[in-house]
Amino acid sequence: MNFYRDWHTPRVLTLDLDDTLYDNGPVIDYAEDYIKTRIGVEYLEGNRLSDEVYSSVRQEMLSVCPELEYDVSMLRYFIFKEVLLRAGKSSDDSGAIAEALMHDFIKVRSRINVPRETLDVLYRLKQRYPLIGLTNGNSSPKLARYEDCFDEVILAAVNMPSKPNPAMFLHAAMYAGVDISEVCHIGDNENTDVLGAIKAGAMCVRQTQYHCDNSELRILPHVCINNIAELTDLLL
């Protein structure tokens, strides 16, 4: 555990989900492959939707509607719909199929295994602090069966810009009825979690258990930890 900024005990905790509470890499990789293969088999004459086509359509959607960057579910829906339109489906059919595909995608990408140790830490923290989830992604704590760890979960959307925009942090503080300086955010990503929390005026703990390390910090959090279990020493 390393300290980089002045630290005081917070009143509210916000937590990132993906790659902070669990290893998101294998789950999202499988979900991406599943949905692209399914689209290919069912709607593209058996040819898997390629990563290149997906990326190209994604850029086109963002060029037309940049605010979709804040809502990954809505963006993915419009990508699916556009791919289906190009495959010859009508607008109505494309919309209905894209909606069904999104429903299945979220189910598959929410097959998350939150480690028992992490759940134990969350339940202990919840006895002392309000816990609010903040995510740029679209995994569902309800489908993953750990929603009872949180008092609230805030998802990025067109009207709730994704981290590092301060909006979600400020909304969490307002929800909890505290000043933003009394909020501590826990997350893994330097460019979204750390930068967003610092910009908003909250404290930040960077958790590096999955896919990142502290060797080259560019944006200093208040504290860095290497394992979620260290939160009990810091906060309890």
* 207 shares a domain with 124: yes
139 and 224 in a single domain? The answer is: yes
| CATH number of the domain enclosing 127 | 3.40.50.1000
| Mean pLDDT value across residues 201-230 | 87
* Cβ count near 26 (within 10 Å): 11
Tokens representing 49? 């939707």
pLDDT exceeds cutoff 90 at 32? yes
Same domain, 54 and 15: no
Same domain, 140 and 61: no
Task: For the chain, give the percent of residues with pLDDT over 90.
Answer: 88
Q: Are residues 119 and 210 in the same domain?
A: yes
Q: HEC string of 189-233? A: CHHHHHHHHHHHCCEEEEECCCCCCCCCCCCCCCEEECCCCHHHH
Residues 74 and 183 both lie in one domain: no
Q: Are strands 203-207 and 12-15 parallel, antiparallel or unpaired?
A: unpaired
Assess whether 38 and 138 both reside in one domain: no
Same domain, 104 and 219: no
Q: Is 167 found in the same domain as 102?
A: no
Are 132 and 231 members of one domain?
A: yes
Domain boundary among 109, 142, 172: 109
151 and 227 together in one domain: yes
* pLDDT score for 213: 62
Mean pLDDT across 214-233 = 88
Q: Cβ distance 141 to 150 under 8 Å? A: yes
pLDDT band at 31 (very low <50, low <70, confident <90, very high): very high
- The predicted structure's pLDDT at residue 80: 97
Note whether 13 and 61 are same-domain residues: no
Position 180 scores a pLDDT of: 98
Q: Could you give the percent of the chain with pLDDT greater than 70?
A: 97
**Which secondary-structure segment (H or E) carries 101?**
helix 91-109
Domain containing 59: what range? Answer: 26-109
Helix 91-109 crosses helix 72-86 at what angle (to 10 degrees)? 130
- The pLDDT assigned to 138 comes to 85
Tally the domains of the chain. 2
Region 117-130 average pLDDT:
96
In sequence order, which ranges of 127-212 are alpha helices (DSSP H)? 167-176, 195-200
**Is residue 156's pLDDT more than 70?**
yes
- The whole-chain average pLDDT of the chain stands at 94
CA angle, 23 then 109 then 129, to 5°: 60
Least confident of 29-43, 141-155, 176-190: 141-155
pTM of the model: 0.91
Distances from the Cα of 23 to the Cα of 42, 78, 110, 114, 180, angstroms: 30, 27, 12, 8, 28
Catalytic residue numbers read 16
Last residue of a domain, one of 109, 142, 157: 109
